[in-house]
Chain A
């Protein structure tokens, strides 16, 4: 059994980054560069109402005044914001082809098939996952829309939502991550293209898992997706996010925003398997993943859980955070971040306790190999009114190889005397004893490392939905291939 498993891992590993192909599809790419006209152009291409354009322009003007942040424990290469095209539409051909309206370019369909994302509803294996597939700047297709609509669930691309559910979007967009939040949030707010919009009405338990799949295809573009999830009172949704990109020598920019609003007694589970192209083994190319993700637990007894498996990207700079405003609200953050070769990751979370009796849990597992740098950075803030707040954080780092680095930067700000905050962290390599134990029982070193690493990450992987958990486990083994010996 274990031999078979290992054979499979090896087979996958030999392929290296298997999602590195490009799709040859006619893509309409706007001119490179960023100025007010570009912002207006993006807005007009998407046929947006004036309030949206105003929002974008405000964000753009603010962005112009800001400087790139430097505080991360990563070396972000110089990004020429004028050398990027901010809008790439692979579906443009379809629109021109009026009689085929509603049909997707077969090339695109093939691409998503290759990625294992069936766009035809009848092909969906388990039948319980609705997908919003996004390539470059445009949502290609959203499946199961009708079934979801029957329950009152809105699941569509954000572009569509702005047109059709303008009021709802206007009410929530930018309230969790304001455009002034940070440099990349301002950039995203100015030029964001597609992303998903989810609204779960009062009392509805979303009948299937919702999922977005992001794919960068076009060259010299960046992806600026924006996702907004609103879970109204007493609702529940589990949302998954996946992403891949072709192998390219130059860095590609991905600056996304995810906003989640959780109302009274509602629960949102957000899972990510991030597998952007990490660059080659010499650190050339790869996606710069600089994202802002935040959830606002507005209602009482609300619950939000972030689970992330980070294996890709040349640079990851992301802190899925929670603002716990509602009394008795609960937030969780589970993360496995793997870095290999020259990858750099600075990731963690912020738990901001505002309401009474709020609880948060942080479990972070970092694994660094090769010459990579992996940092956990987190903030737990207990506000003066957060009576009885409780936080437990644990972040462990595992080092594989003598040239990598693992770092921990936790911040605790406590302004309340009834709160209890705990934090612990350890950093070490795989113990000789554990390896020896496995070796002694006939398990080769590499396999033993895989076994131990998987066991180490189990706490987090167990929190993922089943299909994702399997994928995540495979990814872990692949990402670490060749790190031993």
Chain B
């Protein structure tokens, strides 16, 4: 039996239960998605988009994962007491930007148990940032297929932090699809912070659909993980949109972090920025592939992409692949990527001043990834992340810092 077949069978056997637990708005896409998944199968390493990660190994089923089939009711966070018809909202947005061309997304659409929905009405401004703690604490080896839908209507603004954590040492395999719709003039800051463990495998696909003058700042921080693949796709659909995709990765042991981003300039006058920094140590593997696509007619596009990496050990591997695909002439696009080591001169400077080598290295690494953190405009979050990075480098990161849950 092929690997795919076991998932197809899983779906067939549990279809009724899945359908019973979720609204039709979610269920209507399941069959087609499963069909798309079964025709594509899990991407082999030959598939360009998945060349740096072994998807088949992640899903090989050697771990006996259990899966929660009964979906919890749809969760909605509504800012205003305006009644929102969930069904209508879901029909309008759910599965509209995520596509079945990605087999992981297709699998998620078919098997997802629940959908978290965050909806902001027209011109609604969220006063305080929302932090969502996604905690893996099943007590058994578990597989999960999560779904998040974020909708900002015209002129709305929000700051969201998604914090992925583990609370026990079981194996986890999770797929997650986040669909984000940012309306005209709306502003979204979305932070994702991963702090799981080495037995955790995550596939996280994020899709942004952006309107005119929409602004998105996405920051993707991998502090600790097992195997993580982030696929981030930003579609600039309205003129004068601006998207920033930043991220930093600290990896050691046998961790793998593969970030695959796509920014599609589909209309003129949009701007995109991208800054990704990696520190790969011990036997870890870091991969970055960032494509900027400028469609025909998308004149006056401006794009700047930077990827900088440090290989800190003999056995660590770093793959980087910044790409430009441009079909319009009046554009300014650039990318730069480097792979290197810590600056010898800077290390010498620090040691000369009595700082031991290990500490000096740590300081430099901290400063190196710190650049990504400094881009975050919220001071409190920025400070907290700096502390977490320091702790991460010292190997003290047993629990997270500063969030309400831990301080209790």
A404 touches B329 (CB 8 A): yes
Picked from A402, A414, A425, the residue with its CB within 8 Å of the CB of B336 is: A425
Known contacts: A410-B321, A412-B320, A417-B314. The answer to whether A397 contacts B336 by CB under 8 A is: no
Nearest chain B CB to A243's CB is how many angstroms away? 29
B323 touches A410 (CB 8 A): yes
Residues of A within 8 A of B299 (CB): 402
B317 touches A406 (CB 8 A): no
Known contacts: A411-B319, A418-B341, A419-B339. The answer to whether A427 contacts B326 by CB under 8 A is: yes
Picked from B309, B315, B326, B331, the residue with its CB within 8 Å of the CB of A407 is: B326
Nearest chain A CB to B314's CB is how many angstroms away? 6
- Indicate whether A415 reaches chain B with its CB closer than 8 angstroms: yes
A414 touches B311 (CB 8 A): yes
Most A CB within 10 A of own CB, among B316, B326, B334: B326
Nearest chain A CB to B9's CB is how many angstroms away? 32
The secondary structure that dominates the A interface is strand
Nearest chain A CB to B94's CB is how many angstroms away? 34
Nearest chain A CB to B324's CB is how many angstroms away? 4
A419 touches B311 (CB 8 A): yes
A397 to B309 Cα, complex, angstroms: 24
- Indicate whether B313 reaches chain A with its CB closer than 8 angstroms: yes
Query: Can you list, as one digit per residue, whether each of B324-366 has a CB less than 8 Å from chain A (1) or not (0)?
Result: 1111111111111111110000000000000000000000000
A373 to B340 Cα, complex, angstroms: 32
Query: Can you list, as one digit per residue, whether each of A395-436 has a CB less than 8 Å from chain B (1) or not (0)?
Result: 001011111111111111111111111111111110000000
A402 touches B329 (CB 8 A): yes
A14 to B319 Cα, complex, angstroms: 47
B339 touches A425 (CB 8 A): no
A416 touches B322 (CB 8 A): no
- Indicate whether A78 reaches chain B with its CB closer than 8 angstroms: no
Nearest chain A CB to B174's CB is how many angstroms away? 28
A415 to B312 Cα, complex, angstroms: 10
Number of chain A residues close to chain B: CB under 8 A: 36
Residue of B nearest to A391 (CB): B339
A427 touches B324 (CB 8 A): yes
- Indicate whether B33 reaches chain A with its CB closer than 8 angstroms: no
A397 touches B318 (CB 8 A): no
A408 touches B324 (CB 8 A): yes
Picked from A71, A406, A416, A429, the residue with its CB within 8 Å of the CB of B48 is: A71
A403 touches B336 (CB 8 A): no
A404 to B326 Cα, complex, angstroms: 8
A211 to B327 Cα, complex, angstroms: 37
- Indicate whether A30 reaches chain B with its CB closer than 8 angstroms: no
A71 to B314 Cα, complex, angstroms: 32
Residue of A nearest to B306 (CB): A424
Residues of B within 8 A of A71 (CB): 48
Residues of B within 8 A of A420 (CB): 338-341
Query: Can you list, as one digit per residue, whether each of A186-220 has a CB less than 8 Å from chain B (1) or not (0)?
Result: 00000000000000000000000000000000000
Nearest chain A CB to B307's CB is how many angstroms away? 9
Residues of B within 8 A of A408 (CB): 322-325, 335
Known contacts: A414-B318, A416-B311. The answer to whether A429 contacts B330 by CB under 8 A is: yes
A427 touches B313 (CB 8 A): no
A410 to B325 Cα, complex, angstroms: 12
Residues of B within 8 A of A411 (CB): 319-321
A410 to B341 Cα, complex, angstroms: 20
A413 touches B317 (CB 8 A): yes
Picked from A403, A417, A427, A428, the residue with its CB within 8 Å of the CB of B341 is: A417
Residues of B within 8 A of A29 (CB): none
Q: A424-B337, A426-B333 are in contact. List 19 more A-B contacts (CB 8 A).
A: A403-B327, A405-B326, A406-B324, A411-B320, A414-B311, A414-B317, A417-B312, A419-B311, A420-B341, A421-B339, A422-B336, A423-B335, A423-B336, A424-B335, A424-B336, A427-B326, A428-B331, A428-B333, A429-B330
Chain A residues with a Cβ under 8 A of chain B: 71, 73, 382, 384, 397, 399-429
Q: Which 6 A-B pairs have the closest CB atoms?
A: A399-B329, A417-B311, A414-B339, A424-B336, A408-B324, A426-B334
Report 22 cross-chain contacts, Cβ distance below 8 Å, ordered by A residue.
A397-B326, A400-B329, A402-B296, A402-B297, A402-B299, A403-B296, A404-B327, A407-B324, A408-B325, A409-B321, A409-B323, A411-B320, A411-B321, A412-B337, A420-B339, A421-B340, A423-B322, A423-B337, A424-B335, A425-B322, A426-B334, A427-B332
